[in-house]
Structure 1
Amino acid sequence: MASHLDLEEQEQLDQLKAFWKRWGNLITWLLTAALAVFAAWQGWQWRERNQAAEAAAMYGEFDRLLTAQDVDKAAAAAGDLKARFASTGFAAQASLQVAKLQLDKGKADDAKASLSWVAAQGSEPAYRDLARLRLAGLQLDQPKTYDEVAKTLDAIKSPEFAALVADRRGDLLLQEGKRDAAKAEYQKALAGMEKTQDYRRVIEAKLATLGVPTVVETAGAAQ
């Protein structure tokens, strides 16, 4: 019986050796590759966490300068964020915020540059479209930039900005002297905006200048 078991064990051992001879290198390679992938994944996660922490710290310094209204230093801090952490939301937020400060300080060209960067390289579609919407507003302040404004507005695809895009497009058409087309865009903007939004009053005022009665005027006439 013992001899029979020894022979059976030897046969199993021979089969195992044959299997390993045939497949051993492949198995070893697959295990090594899996471990390498796992190590790379762990390393990537560590780098991502480390970068996020660094970006957050830099954004904190930027926010301090923004609060102090130091436009030059805030712009420099936003530039550092763009240079080192362009793919993060911190860089896009900083550029959007510094653009507003630059505009408030009379630096319209700098504000356009900040918004243009977000429009082209912002980390999220919402950031890019918000930058385009604000950029279109600045472009409207410049004479004869109709094609440029239209191109900027056409690039906005986020549905949540549809009403504001229609409002901006109405401004563009009004500048071009296309009053009826502008009126239609303003009406589209008003229809797409929540009734609780204060900005509706601005659009109603624009419509009123084009001879379209506002809600208040209509209610007064009904009484």
Structure 2
Amino acid sequence: MAYDLEEQEQLASMKAFWAQYGNLITWVLIIALGSFAAYTYWGQRNRVQAVEASALYDEQLALLAAKDNAKVQRIAADVQAKYSRTVYAAMSALVAARSAFDANDAKAAKAHLQWVVEHGNDEYKSVARLRLAAVLLDEKAYDEALKTIATDMLPQFAGAVADRKGDILAAQNKVAEARAAYQGALDAMSKDNPGRQLVQYKLDALGEAAPKTAA
């Protein structure tokens, strides 16, 4: 009998607890399940988008090799419009910039590179800035080219930045500054970096530094 009374007391307590907190618990569960469902949906959606964007990027690379600039540009526009949240958007823009530059369309090349600077991750931003500086160098926009690589560059690009700076300064006939930049590039590059040979060649092409005259 005491056991039955104890069960009844527990049941009454549970009913009272549910009457007081039942609605709150129900809504918490609904919100939690809804959040989980949304998280699962977005995760699946992101995976699908990445696969689709990857397929377009592979197609774009083939078109770049075929020198079909018009189609390369169309794919870049599609990827940026539909898959801008994926890493392939920046990758596709870099390919489109290369294709446009090869087709003598510097304006389109700069637009794609600027898009990466504004929307890509830090690594792709650094790559885009280096390539944008090269386009500006080709246009003889030296000050703008130097400004492009002056900030927001990842440390691992220090050698490439110094090399590009040397190119810009050499084009301005600032020989001493260009020499210092190329030397800085060599100092920043690892011994097995394949780019060292080209930098050394450019440094040697500048000639020896003029000897200091006695006071």
Q: TM-score range by the shorter chain?
A: 0.7 to 0.9
Q: How many residues align?
A: 209
Establish whether residue 205 from structure 1 lines up as the match of residue 207 from structure 2. Answer: no
2:56 pairs with 44, 55, 58, which one? 58
Establish whether residue 80 from structure 1 lines up as the match of residue 74 from structure 2. Answer: no
Establish whether residue 180 from structure 1 lines up as the match of residue 180 from structure 2. Answer: no
Distance apart, 1:174 and its partner CA: 3.0
Please report the TM-score for the alignment, with normalisation by the length of structure 1: 0.85
Establish whether residue 161 from structure 1 lines up as the match of residue 172 from structure 2. Answer: no
Separation in structure 1 between the aligned mates of residue 194 and residue 65 of structure 2, nearest angstrom? 26
2:131 pairs with 124, 131, 134, which one? 134
Distance apart, 1:99 and its partner CA: 1.8
Which residue in the other structure is 1:8 paired with? 6
2:61, 2:95 within 8 Å by CA — same for their partners in 1?
A: no
Q: 1:156 to 1:171 in 2, by over 3 A?
A: farther
Give 2:20's aligned amino acid.
R
> More deviation in 176-185 or 6-15?
176-185
2:162, 2:181 within 8 Å by CA — same for their partners in 1?
A: yes
Which residue in the other structure is 2:188 paired with? 192
Percent identity at matched positions? 45
- What is the aligned-residue RMSD (CA, Å)? 1.9
1:40 pairs with 15, 38, 41, which one? 38
1:133, 1:156 within 8 Å by CA — same for their partners in 2?
A: no
1:140, 1:149 within 8 Å by CA — same for their partners in 2?
A: yes
Please report the TM-score for the alignment, with normalisation by the length of structure 2: 0.88
Distance apart, 1:177 and its partner CA: 4.1
Residue segments in structure 2 that go unaligned for 5+ positions in a row: 210-215
Residue segments in structure 1 that go unaligned for 5+ positions in a row: 214-223
Distance apart, 1:30 and its partner CA: 1.2
Distance apart, 1:113 and its partner CA: 1.9
